[in-house]
């Protein structure tokens, strides 16, 4: 286990005496070599010496590329909870193909969100968000690489720094403005 020591003003919410550590479990870490978003988030956590390999010992878990719905038990296993990444400005474009829907609808911007999952699909409280522009002529893949991945790492860094300082942000989504789009079927499916 690798940890970072935080100032005494932080993490007292975890019931620890100083010096404190923030231990972060990364879902999908074993797929980092084939999933750039997981690799980028894993590097952020490891470079800050926050990496925790056992979810039962983690203060927080992060899921940069979640393809299944977490059980309530899994969500609550880390002391502070679990953060899930979504490539849109939640509550807009909930669901599996948020970026493709932004392109299909001709939007000029969207964003990234780290949120605290609940029993719904992409409906939990928001921890951190950032708006990102879609450039003219850009493909969804180019957009993902150029804008979404870097924004995901920046917003994760801000979220984890706030949590380490003892200030985990939880902003309820405005569900009345939420949209849920179905998966866009690709050719050959």
pLDDT number for residue 118: 95
- For residue 73, what are the domain limits? 5-85+112-127+140-172
85 CB-side CA count, 13 A: 31
Residue 33 lies in a domain: yes
Residue 81 lies in a domain: yes
CATH number, domain containing residue 26: 3.40.50.170
- For 74-103, the pLDDT digits (tens) are 999 999 999 999 999 999 999 989 999 999
Opening angle at CA 110, ends 75 and 125, nearest 5: 25
Q: Mean pLDDT in the chain?
A: 88
pLDDT at 16 over 50: no
Residue 104 CA to residue 172 CA, distance in Å, equals 27
Residue 72 lies in a domain: yes
- For 115-162, the pLDDT digits (tens) are 999 999 999 999 999 999 999 999 999 999 999 999 999 999 999 999
Residue 34 CA to residue 20 CA, distance in Å, equals 33
- What is the number of structural domains in the chain? 1
Is residue 168 within 8 A of residue 56, CB to CB? The reply is: no
86 class by beta-carbon count within 10 Å (0-12 exposed, 13-18 middle, 19+ buried): buried
106 CB-side CA count, 13 A: 0
Residue 56 lies in a domain: yes
Q: What percent of the chain has pLDDT over 70?
A: 88
Residue 183 lies in a domain: no
Residue 91 CA to residue 100 CA, distance in Å, equals 16
Q: How many residues does the chain have?
A: 189
Residue 182 lies in a domain: no
**CB within 8 A of 56, min separation 6: which ones?**
77
- For 21-66, the pLDDT digits (tens) are 799 999 999 988 899 999 999 999 999 999 999 999 999 999 999 9
Model confidence, pTM: 0.88
131 CB-side CA count, 13 A: 4
Q: CB neighbours (10 Å) of residue 148? A: 23
Residue 87 CA to residue 97 CA, distance in Å, equals 9
Residue 97 lies in a domain: no
pLDDT number for residue 4: 32
Residue 146 lies in a domain: yes
Is residue 67 within 8 A of residue 183, CB to CB? The reply is: no
Residue 173 CA to residue 10 CA, distance in Å, equals 26
pLDDT number for residue 67: 84
Q: CB neighbours (10 Å) of residue 157? A: 16
Calculate mean pLDDT across residues 164-187.
Answer: 91
pLDDT number for residue 189: 52
């Amino acid at each position: 286990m690798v940890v970072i020591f935080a100032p005494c003003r932080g993490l007292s919410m975890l019931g620890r005496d100083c010096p404190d550590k923030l231990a972060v479990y990364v879902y999908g870490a074993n797929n980092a070599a084939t999933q750039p978003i997981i690799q980028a988030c894993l590097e952020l956590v490891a470079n800050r010496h926050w990496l925790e390999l056992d979810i039962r010992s983690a203060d927080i878990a992060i899921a940069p590329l979640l393809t299944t719905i977490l059980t309530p038990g899994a969500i609550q296993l880390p002391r502070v909870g679990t953060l899930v990444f979504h490539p849109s400005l939640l509550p807009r474009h909930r669901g599996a193909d948020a970026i493709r829907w932004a392109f299909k609808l001709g939007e000029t911007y969207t964003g990234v969100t780290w949120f605290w999952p609940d029993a719904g699909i992409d409906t939990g409280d928001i921890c951190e968000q950032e708006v990102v522009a879609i450039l003219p002529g850009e493909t969804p893949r180019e957009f993902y690489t150029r804008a979404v991945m870097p924004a995901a790492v920046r917003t994760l860094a801000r979220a984890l720094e706030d949590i380490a300082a003892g200030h985990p942000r939880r902003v309820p989504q405005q569900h009345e403005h939420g949209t849920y789009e179905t998966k866009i079927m690709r050719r050959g499916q």
